[in-house]
Amino acid sequence: MATASVTNDLQTPVEVAFHGDWCVIYPQKSCDVGVTEVSAFSTSSGPESEVEALIQLRLRESPEVKGSCEAAGGASLQASVDFGAFSQRCKGRDRAEARELAREAKRRKEAEERIDTMIEEAATKKRNEKAWHTLKCLGPFVAILLALLLVCAVIPPESDVASMLLAGATVPLCCCITWAFNIHTSVAGDDRSTFFLGKYEVFFRLAFLFACLLALLALGAMTAQHASLGYYWTPWIVGLSVFIFAMLFCLNIVFPEELDSEQKKELKRELKEACCEISNRTIRFEGSVISWPRGRPCVASWPGKYAGAWESLVSQSRDGQVSAAVVFLPEGTDDFGKCDSIPEDEGLPGSCWCTPLYGEQKPWGCRWFTKWKENIEIAVASGAQLEVYFFQNQVGHGKVDSFESAGEDNLRREKINEKQKEFEESAQFQQALEAGLGNLSQEPRGDGSSQYSREVRRLFLASLPEAERLFITASEGLGNSQKAEVAWLEKKGYEYWGVDVATWLPGEGAEICFNASSRKNPRVDGRQDDFPSICVPIGGWPELPTQTRGFRSDAAMASMSTASVTNDLQTPIEVAFFPGDWRVLYPQKSFEGVADKMSLIQVRLRECTEVGSCQAEGGASLRASVDFEVFSQWCKGRERAEARELAREAKRREEAQKRSDEMIRAAAAKKRDAQGLLGHVFVIGCFFVLPLALLILCVVALPGSAFDAAMLACTAVLLCCCLSACGGTMGVKDATSEFEFGSYVSRTVIMFRLVWLLALISLAAMTALHVLQGHWWTAFLIWPGAACASSCYLCVACGGIAPSELDAKSRRVLAFEKAKARFEISNKTIRFEGSVIRERGRPCVASWPGKYAGAWESLVSQSRDGQVSAAVVFLPEGTSDYGKHDVAEGLPMRSCWCTPLYGEQKPWGCRWFTKWKENIEIAVASGAQLEIYFFQGQVGHGKVDSFESAGEDSLRRENINEKQKLFEESPQFQQALEAGLGNLSQEPRGDGSSQYSREVRRLFLASLPEAEREFITVSEGLGNSQKAEVAWLEKKGYEYWGVDVATWLPGEGAEICFPASSQRELPTHGRERDFPSVSVPVDLE
């Protein structure tokens, strides 16, 4: 029998039908399948004929996803290409999972870096505290030594013995000073310096260099003094001190000391203490139950394997946004490993709670359970609605029979799971490895599992006896500790709601693809459109009497028995008293309707079709968030999901803005630094070093007479005043200095302060020399002037005088540099001209809806990294090609592309279209698979009839949309505002729209004539430029696939809730569980 080869070039395992069974094919592996049969008779026209057979393929993790194709013997099929829609769907799943893995890897890396940074900061803080203690002890000691050295230098010797003693005293003093610095720091900086001095290391090194300089100046002055008095041999003794200084200085640089073992142990101990502190402060979580208002949802149990969602829960709980009773005491925290005894009145076996929880004592202890019970009691006492979060798509599954049996069940699960190690050493597992099991990705997704670990788990479960396999699969749905938590809630009779943890996961929508040649506008089932069928307010917006509430259409209702419905949700709803019409009810508004005896009251969301109902008598007061049971819970879950989406989008926008501002600031600062470096060098050379050099010359020049001494003293004072004036204008950190020197302003300030200190030391040396020569009176010239100069500088430096502001010219220069930097950053980061990867059959993004800004950032980032092929082009305002036009082909009067694209010339130009066409031609020539991304839930919608009509359609849409401004000034809109329209949130979600803007859009569309309304609604699905792009592809006959942009959005799953008292186990529909029925592996040979 002839065979065909099927190659799995996907990233996920597939199964192929083989002899009635399903055979596993791992990535990068092939399988030969029998496909042809020889007919039983011969024909006169030739040899026996072959018949093509149907080859079926399905995903290993989702067997319901199947595909097939017909092939003859000898055919070589690829799973990613030859199985039609199945291939496209699988590639979409691969890309979605790749994005999820990248997102999880990024989250783990950022979390690890964040924790490492916090630990390092805590350890550094401890080290700095000890370093400060070292400085407090060492500083006075060195200062005393330096003072003694200066005293020895200024005392004039009166004999040879005195000269020898003074010169000899400098040697031990210099040795002690150098030793004090060398044992604590290195001039070049090393681990030992950091250990002893922490953040004060740089300051200490500068102090060391200053002390060395001051000591050398003192020794030089001493040598000059002794020489002038005739003691010419003392420089040999002083020279020994200088030699010791130099030798120890060189040894410090060439041979830096390493940390010894004790010091390394101390650093490790400090790091461990810092880890414990950070764990107690950040990772440790003891719950945060919010007692008000009553009925608020409270997270009572959480599956810990969803680390990213757990971080989000803890963050929002600490911010007071979410009420949570869950407790986490990880290793390294104070209460880890602690156990609490069981009260006698509980009647449970065991010395502590570990026994009923796990069947035996555990290393992590059971203190967490005591704290959790306390939180639960607080939540129940405050009337909270307890929520238990189950694994994804497994709400209601995984519970134990009772709290008393939880420990035994846990021991049985552990005993079975321990067999997996033996299984991974078995021949069956080695056979799977040879078949390509190792080709599966081992990168973890949001629940901590990888393709490899899930497949290994499937194989292990398939190897178990049926009873054990069923026991393990029935246990899936809750974590080990969760099972005991839920059992305790049921033991106490506390009602709770089961919720799918998917509501906290940044999940991926399923890719929805269609071939452009198959149908024009295919029907797509998914999330309902924002304007699905233009929901017209029933009965318009009737005039309301001032004494009534809500949308009351008949004043006579006031005299009838009524019931009130209050919308305490954050989203608009519609209410109907059966029988009756639907009336809009905005947040924080109420509506009263006739309710005789037991009347049926229905509510539904304004944006969706889900309906809830309840029966009420006249006089009843109902709340949308409480009194409509499952509908109320579903709405609150939807609101929490939307709140997380809004918070995520707000955070993304804030981070994007900060990132952009930081890049512009850095680019502008770089330009300013280029100018500042020149200013820095010029100022130091001309205004700092030159006056200091002249001052030193005045010091070393010996006065021959009183007039010479007076002139030298006056000159020194003038030079000090010059330095002070330069320091007051350029030696302080203010707006003018930052403008002149950029990032070098701090160095300029430090340099001036060092120069000023040297100037004061020089004045002191000058005074000493003049006193020795009998011109003691010059001190009364030098020091008053020096004091005045110092006071002027200190007034400016300490803020006593208002710092100078930038003048108009400087501000214009800064504005120009910032604008230039913004232009450069826009061209480098925001501007995108596409990045087509020349690989046959590779998907290439040919068109993208620009309103999804967050997804666009992700697309551009991955495209620049070479992960995604993209032909799309974006030339925003501020870039070099913005507003440029190119002549279109085949249009009269050399018109540009704006005419067929938009019907008229646009400010942003049409240069982008020329570049886009070039990218498309490259993609088509390389055999790429073009992909058009449509609005969420609207794949196939929004296309124009032809490229020639795109411009006219664009003008018509613009003319209609311009009417919205007039509508927002109409009495109808004002009436909607009075009815509570303004209570809707105006925070944008991922597509840029808010609840308020979507409702305004619905009202506007409802106000239009039917023809215009239908025209606008049919246009939804693609952006304006996208419509022309797709029309151009169809004009050229290029085949493309339509994809839902939801695959790039961090969407939310729908919350699935059920009351614990309603039913024990619920069937779930959606993504199949990892081990739905324990698929036994087919023979891998």
pLDDT at 553: 38
Confidence of residue 1062 (pLDDT cuts 50, 70, 90): very low
pLDDT at 1069: 32
CB 8 within 8 A of CB 26: yes
The residues facing 16 across adjacent strands are: 23, 57
pLDDT at 24: 94
Indicate whether 276 belongs to any domain.
Answer: no
CA separation for the pair 446, 76 (Å, rounded)? 36
Indicate whether 633 belongs to any domain.
Answer: no
Displacement of CA 424 from its chain's centroid (Å)? 37
Residue type, 73: G
- Determine the straight-line distance between the first and last CA of the chain, rounded to whole angstroms: 18
pLDDT at 187: 46
CA separation for the pair 436, 597 (Å, rounded)? 69
* Buried/exposed code over 357-379 (b: 16+ C-beta within 10 A; e: otherwise): bbbebbebbbbbbbbbbebbebb
Q: Say if strands 562-567 and 621-623 run parallel, antiparallel, or are unpaired.
A: parallel
Question: Mind listing the pLDDT tens digit for each residue in 758-782?
Answer: 777 888 888 888 877 788 788 788 8
pLDDT greater at residue 683 or residue 709: 709
Which range is least confidently modeled, 151-165, 461-475, 1005-1019?
151-165
End-of-domain residue from the set 61, 83, 105: 83
pLDDT at 1: 63
* Buried/exposed code over 395-413 (b: 16+ C-beta within 10 A; e: otherwise): bbbbbbeebeebbebbebb
Q: Give yes or no: residues 315 and 436 share one domain.
A: yes
pLDDT at 207: 74
pLDDT at 258: 66
Angle of CA points 715, 155, 762, to nearest 5°:
25
pLDDT at 128: 83
Taking residues 303-332, what's their average pLDDT? 89
Which range is least confidently modeled, 266-280, 616-630, 649-663?
266-280
Number of domains in the chain: 6
CA atoms within 13 A on the CB side of 982: 7
pLDDT at 245: 66
Residue 595 CB contacts under 8 Å (≥ 6 apart), including other chains:
561, 562, 563, 577, 601, 616, 617, 618, 619, 620
Angle of CA points 958, 960, 965, to nearest 5°:
95
Strands, DSSP E only, in 666-750?
none
Which range is least confidently modeled, 49-53, 419-423, 552-556, 728-732?
552-556
Q: Supply the range of the domain harboring residue 436.
A: 285-504
- Torsion angle (degrees, nearest 10) of CA 377, 379, 380, 385: -150
Indicate whether 1055 belongs to any domain.
Answer: no
Confidence of residue 477 (pLDDT cuts 50, 70, 90): very high
End-of-domain residue from the set 818, 851, 876: 818
Query: Which DSSP state fits 438?
Result: G
Confidence of residue 223 (pLDDT cuts 50, 70, 90): confident
Q: Give yes or no: residues 122 and 168 share one domain.
A: yes
Estimate the crossing angle of helix 451-463 against helix 466-475, to 10 degrees. 140
Q: Give yes or no: residues 386 and 473 share one domain.
A: yes
Taking residues 389-415, what's their average pLDDT? 94
Q: Give yes or no: residues 958 and 879 share one domain.
A: yes
pLDDT at 628: 87
Does position 610 have pLDDT exceeding 70, yes or no? yes
Indicate whether 1071 belongs to any domain.
Answer: no
Confidence of residue 46 (pLDDT cuts 50, 70, 90): very low
Question: Mind listing the pLDDT tens digit for each residue in 157-168?
Answer: 888 888 888 888
Indicate whether 640 belongs to any domain.
Answer: no
Does position 794 have pLDDT exceeding 70, yes or no? no
Taking residues 843-869, what's their average pLDDT? 90
Does position 851 have pLDDT exceeding 50, yes or no? yes
Which range is least confidently modeled, 128-137, 457-466, 707-716, 1015-1024?
128-137
Residue 907 CB contacts under 8 Å (≥ 6 apart), including other chains:
883
Indicate whether 1020 belongs to any domain.
Answer: yes
Residue type, 478: L
Indicate whether 955 belongs to any domain.
Answer: yes
Q: Give yes or no: residues 226 and 290 share one domain.
A: no
Question: Mind listing the pLDDT tens digit for each residue in 520-529?
Answer: 443 333 333 3
pLDDT at 1058: 43
Q: Give yes or no: residues 1005 and 916 share one domain.
A: yes
Does position 89 have pLDDT exceeding 80, yes or no? yes
Does position 732 have pLDDT exceeding 80, yes or no? no
Percent share of the chain, pLDDT over 90? 33
Question: Mind listing the pLDDT tens digit for each residue in 153-196?
Answer: 888 888 888 888 888 888 788 778 777 766 655 544 556 667 77
Does position 441 have pLDDT exceeding 60, yes or no? yes
Q: Averaging pLDDT over each range in 138-152, 820-834, 849-863, which range is the top one? A: 849-863
End-of-domain residue from the set 83, 109, 135: 83
pLDDT greater at residue 962 or residue 626: 962
- Torsion angle (degrees, nearest 10) of CA 798, 799, 801, 807: 120
Does position 91 have pLDDT exceeding 50, yes or no? yes
Q: Give yes or no: residues 246 and 321 share one domain.
A: no
Q: Give yes or no: residues 466 and 546 share one domain.
A: no
Long-range CB pairs of 251-256, under 8 A, 24+ apart, other chains included? 251/182, 252/181, 252/182, 252/186, 252/187, 252/188, 253/186, 253/187, 253/188, 256/186, 256/188, 256/190, 256/192
pLDDT at 339: 95
Q: Give yes or no: residues 864 and 807 share one domain.
A: no
Question: Mind listing the pLDDT tens digit for each residue in 286-311?
Answer: 999 998 777 788 999 999 999 888 98
pLDDT at 4: 86
Q: Give yes or no: residues 495 and 427 share one domain.
A: yes
CA separation for the pair 72, 37 (Å, rounded)? 9
Mean of pLDDT over the chain? 80
Q: Averaging pLDDT over each range in 104-113, 203-212, 534-543, 915-924, which range is the top one? A: 915-924
Question: Mind listing the pLDDT tens digit for each residue in 634-689?
Answer: 888 888 888 888 888 888 888 888 888 888 888 888 877 777 666 656 666 676 67
Q: Say if strands 53-59 and 66-71 run parallel, antiparallel, or are unpaired.
A: antiparallel
Indicate whether 639 belongs to any domain.
Answer: no
Q: Give yes or no: residues 659 and 563 share one domain.
A: no
Q: Give yes or no: residues 735 and 813 share one domain.
A: yes
pTM value is 0.62
Q: What is the CA radius of gyration of the chain?
A: 40
pLDDT greater at residue 28 or residue 539: 28
